Amino acid sequence: MANPLYDRLFGRHAGNPAPFLHTDCGETISYAEFVRRAARLANALTALGLGPGDRLAAQIDKSPEALMLYAACAQAGVVFLPLNTAYTGAEITYFIENSGAALFVCDGRTRDTLAPIADAAGARVETLNGDGTGSLTDLAASQPDTFDTAPRSDGDLAALLYTSGTTGRSKGAMLSQRNLLSNAETLAAHWSFTSDDVLLHALPIFHTHGLFVATNVMLLAGGSMIFLPKFDLDRMIAEMPRATTMMGVPTFYTRLLSDARFDRDLTAGMRLFISGSAPLLAETHRQFEDRTGHRIMERYGMTETNMNTSNPYDGDRRAGTVGLALPGVELKICDPETGATLPQGEIGVIEVRGENVFQGYWQMPEKTREELRADGFFITGDLGMIDADGYVTIVGRGKDLVISGGFNVYPKEVEDALDQQPGVLESAVIGVPHPDFGEGVVAVLVPQPGAAIDTGALAAALGETLAKYKQPKRFVVVDELPRNTMGKVQKNALRETYGDSFT
């Protein structure tokens, strides 16, 4: 019996001498070497008693060995659960207990703190450090460099990814082999990746963007990755002449634009820049194209679905949109109350269906039924609209919708208006309790470097472009907006901070 995910991504590269990873310390790891070292880890997992269907939770720094652990899990049929390195012990407790992980892999520096948590949950603990050392790699060193691949099917669970949990308990999205493989196949073709590509990879690999999008696409294409531990401006600029493609979050692009070295000459060998995980400002699009001649390709995905839409590789990449539904993905805009499909141009909740859509939430059947319809459509919770050409625009999360005086206020519309005003670098609009209107609009603003924001003039300007109920009732100026590790603005944190604005 086959193992589709392993066979397509890793197994076919056994014996392939082509380079796969160019590491931060100057080492180049071939595909063949990567597969052999991953097989040693797969044997180590089996020696530790893990088998197909068991869960492995890992909170480890980005490294080639961390990526090999993913491959080892795929080969052994073990369900891979990567965890954000910023998670606290309390959060780790929930993930290990909820997933029923048989093995928890952590950094040696955190073992003494986290081992009691894992022990209490019945999970064995091994270490894997950012430099590739640790008890797990020590065990793997004595293992054979071949492994009898565990038979798995398309529908078997390959990974658990926990949502951020900003509103209640984090949910473990169950992703099958087919979920991961089908999306990678679509993206590799849609974005025209080949074995000639070199991806500049500075994303974390505990998140779907860096792991299941960037890495899986490159494995399918047979290209190589400049595998950096994290985003470092100087390293990105130094390595870019060696690369052909880059995937990043908006903050990557704004930081690159802040450096005069980032110009047309530096990016002359690049064929594609891709952005996701958070909205990219239209102004960033414009500045980037003016500086480099390249137009960033923006796309849209979720933990539960991987990628759903993308601007075209060949065609009009429209700033402010996330492009068209990907091949094999059905996308519609629905009434949040009735679920009825809305006409083109109306704002509603985005629902998607396709082989990329997850199997449900781990041990949460009621939550699964709430968000995953019987006909296979997933209710994303994102608010959006589709224009006459099929381009999708995201206007915000459903939970971020502001209802002021009975009227719906879509934060993205107000943010777009704010971002065009003099002195404003970026903005975030939230709704907080208001004694008269139910909710009042609060605008949190970050000034451009060296600029001062005149909130009085700003309010007057918005009065010319926005209806009264959409206009912010309070302006707050801050140095920076709170973001998660993928650069997404944490509006729940803003609501907590400014929730008493009108009391």
CA of residue 414 relative to chain centroid, distance: 25
95-99, 138-142, 281-285, 302-306: which has the minimum mean pLDDT? 281-285
Among the ranges given (199-208, 259-268, 457-466), the one the predictor scored with the smallest mean pLDDT? 457-466
Give residue 165's pLDDT band: very low, low, confident or very high (50, 70, 90): low
Contact 276, 251 (CB under 8 A): no
pLDDT of 294 strictly over 80? yes
Reported as a pLDDT band with limits 50, 70 and 90, residue 164 is low
pLDDT at 161 over 90: yes
Q: Would you say residue 167 has pLDDT above 70?
A: no
Contacts of 423 (CB under 8 A, 6+ apart): 447, 448, 451, 452, 453, 454
Query: What value does the mean pLDDT take over residues 463-484?
Result: 90
* Residue 446 host element (H or E): strand 438-447
Residues 232-245 have a mean pLDDT of 97
pLDDT greater than 80 at residue 153:
yes
Is pLDDT at 104 greater than 80 in this prediction? yes
The residue assigned the tokens 């590790």 is 485
Residue-level pLDDT at 56: 98
For the chain, what is the mean pLDDT?
A: 93
Residue 465 CB neighbours (<10 A): 14
**Lookup: tokens for 87:** 């998670």
Angle between helices 411-419 and 282-292 (to 10 degrees): 50
Q: Is pLDDT of 242 > 90?
A: yes
Closest CA to 48 of 159, 121, 138: 138
Q: Is the pLDDT of residue 113 over 60?
A: yes
For the chain, what is the radius of gyration of the CA atoms?
Answer: 23
Q: Which residues pair with 307 in a beta bridge?
A: 301
Cα–Cα distance between 390 and 377 in angstroms, integer? 18
Supply 398's token pair: 């459903």
Which one-letter amino acid corresponds to residue 101? Answer: A
- Helix, strand, coil fractions of the chain, as percent rounded to 5: 35, 25, 40
**DSSP 3-state of 309:** strand
Q: Residue 62: its pLDDT value, please? A: 97
Q: What pLDDT is stored for residue 52 in this prediction?
A: 97
Q: Is 162 helix (H, G, I), strand (E, B) or coil?
A: strand
pLDDT digits (tens, 9 = 90+) for 29-55: 999 999 999 999 999 999 999 999 999
Contacts with 20 (C-beta within 8 Å, 6 or more apart), sequence order: 13, 29, 30, 31, 34, 224, 225
Residue-wise burial string across 323-346, b where 16 or more C-beta atoms lie within 10 A, e elsewhere: bbbbeebebbbbeeeeeeebeeee
Which residues, 6+ apart, have CB-to-CB distance to 456 below 8 Å? none
Is the per-residue pLDDT at 490 higher than 70? yes
- Specify the pLDDT at position 166: 45
| The predicted structure's pLDDT at residue 436 | 72
Look at the block and give the residue holding tokens 């903005």: 427
Residue 437 to residue 403: CA distance in whole angstroms: 8
- Give the DSSP per-residue string, 204-262: -SSSHIIIIIIIHHHHHHT-EEEE-SS--HHHHHHHGGG-SEEEE-HHHHHHHHTSTT-
**DSSP symbol at 53:** T
Pick from 253-257, 261-265, 432-436: least confident: 432-436
Residues 187 and 210: their CA atoms lie apart, in Å, by 14
Over residues 460-474, mean pLDDT: 88
pLDDT, tens only, 313-369: 999 999 989 999 999 999 999 998 899 999 999 999 999 999 999 999 999 999 999
List, in sequence order, every residue forming a beta bridge with 330; answer none if it has no partner.
Answer: 353
Q: To which residue do tokens 């992703």 refer?
A: 175
Closest CA to 364 of 187, 102, 170, 502: 170
Q: What is the pLDDT of residues 209-225, one digit of tens each?
A: 999 999 999 999 999 99
- What single string gives the DSSP state of each residue in 381-401? EEEEEE-TTS-EEEEEEGGG-
**C-beta separation of 13 from 34 below 8 A:** yes
The pTM of this model reads 0.87
Residue 486 pLDDT more than 80?
Answer: no
Of 447, 406, 404, which is closest to residue 423 (Cα–Cα)?
447
What are 422's two structure tokens?
A: 């003099």
Instruction: Give the Cα separation of 394 and 454 in Å (integer).
Output: 29
| Distance between CA atoms of residues 226 and 216, nearest Å | 15
Nearest alpha-carbon partner for 346 in 328, 333, 356: 333
Tokens of 31: 């595909």
**Mean per-residue pLDDT for 479-498?**
88
Backbone angles phi, psi at 119, to 5 degrees: -60, -45
Lookup result for tokens 């294409």:
221
Torsion angle, CA of 63/67/69/71, rounded to 10 degrees? -160
The pLDDT tens digits for 408-465 are: 787 888 998 999 999 999 999 999 888 777 788 999 999 999 999 999 999 999 988 8
Q: Give the separation between CA 101 and CA 124, rounded to whole angstroms.
A: 9
User: 111-120 and 89-99 helices cross at what angle (nearest 10)?
Assistant: 30
pLDDT at 405 over 80: no
pLDDT at residue 279 tops 90 = no
- Measured in degrees and rounded to the nearest 5, phi and psi for residue 169 equal -65, 145
